Amino acid sequence: MIKLPIDLRQILLLTCLVFVGCLLSTLPAAAQTSAIDSGFNPQLWLKNALEWVASLGSIGALAFIGIYIIATVAFLPAFILTLGAGVLFGVWLGSVYVFIGATLGSIAAFLVGRYLARNWVAKKIAGNNKFQAIDRAVSKEGLKIVLLTRLSPIFPFNLLNYAFGVTGVSMRDYIIGAIGMIPGTIMFVYLGSLAGNLALIGTETQPTNPTLQWTIRIVGLLATIAVTVYVTKIAKQALNNLTVES
């Protein structure tokens, strides 16, 4: 695993903070005031951000992607942005912008998990051969595991990004595995497009498609079962191999 020099990590972190600060400073004053008055309400903040994006015209897509990256890294409910993309950009363009934002955001979170937490975790499991064996086994099958978990909406997206950074999954497998987000992205953007109005996003009055919702649940359940069985099998094989070697 490549280790970044300390000074380079600091530069990258500072760059991210500057980017976030610049973006937040350009949000409408009304959006910031409403969030402060009500205490920090993530959904309200993201809805206000979507309204701001809608007012930007042709550069709105870039702002949307930037906000999606921030939401992913900061553990904000990005599903609001996914639904909103359907209203602002339509199903196909909305899906493209969401996928780009989610992928870049997940990579940023993965890097934070890897370079700020991975070394600490490695030290903790240094004397535990079982954990090391499982970690190595999982890393070898990283692409399949990432794909399956991305297909399942049951696994929390934001937390999963950091969690993979702490495992031995390679960056290559992690990035390629992002294609598993495509089916869910398209379906949720489509559901958002049915609202036709940002005010309805995330509310009980938002139009839905029961057939599509059940499809998402069934696919998610199957993917969850598959990844659980698969990881259990890999872990068992790793422990058996460790026992034989011992």
pLDDT at site 204 = 57
Q: Please tell me the distance from the alpha carbon of residue 171 to that of residue 242, in angstroms, as a whole number.
A: 26
Indicate the pTM of the whole model.
Answer: 0.72
Q: Give dist(CA 24, CA 67) in Å, integer.
A: 9
Distance from C-alpha of 244 to C-alpha of 246, rounded to nearest angstrom:
5
SS (H, E, C) the chain: CCCCCHHHHHHHHHHHHHHHHHHHHCCCHHHHHHHHHCCCCHHHHHHHHHHHHHCCHHHHHHHHHHHHHHHHHCCCCCHHHHHHHHHHHCHHHHHHHHHHHHHHHHHHHHHHHHHHHHHHHHHHCCCCHHHHHHHHHHHHCHHHHHHHHHHCCCCCHHHHHHHHHHCCCCHHHHHHHHHHHHHHHHHHHHHHHHHCCHHHCCCCCCCCCHHHHHHHHHHHHHHHHHHHHHHHHHHHHHHHHHHHHC
- Best CA proximity match to 84, nearest among 126, 50, 124: 50
* Cα Dmax for the chain: 65
Q: Going residue by residue through the chain (246 aa), what tens digit of pLDDT does each one get?
A: 444 444 444 444 444 443 344 443 344 443 444 444 446 688 888 989 999 999 998 899 999 999 999 999 998 988 899 999 999 999 999 999 999 999 999 999 999 888 887 777 666 666 666 666 666 777 778 888 888 888 877 778 888 888 888 888 899 999 999 999 998 899 889 888 887 777 666 555 566 667 766 776 677 677 777 777 777 777 677 667 756 665
Determine the pLDDT at residue 88. 93
Please give the pLDDT value at position 11: 42
Token output for 44: 């309200």
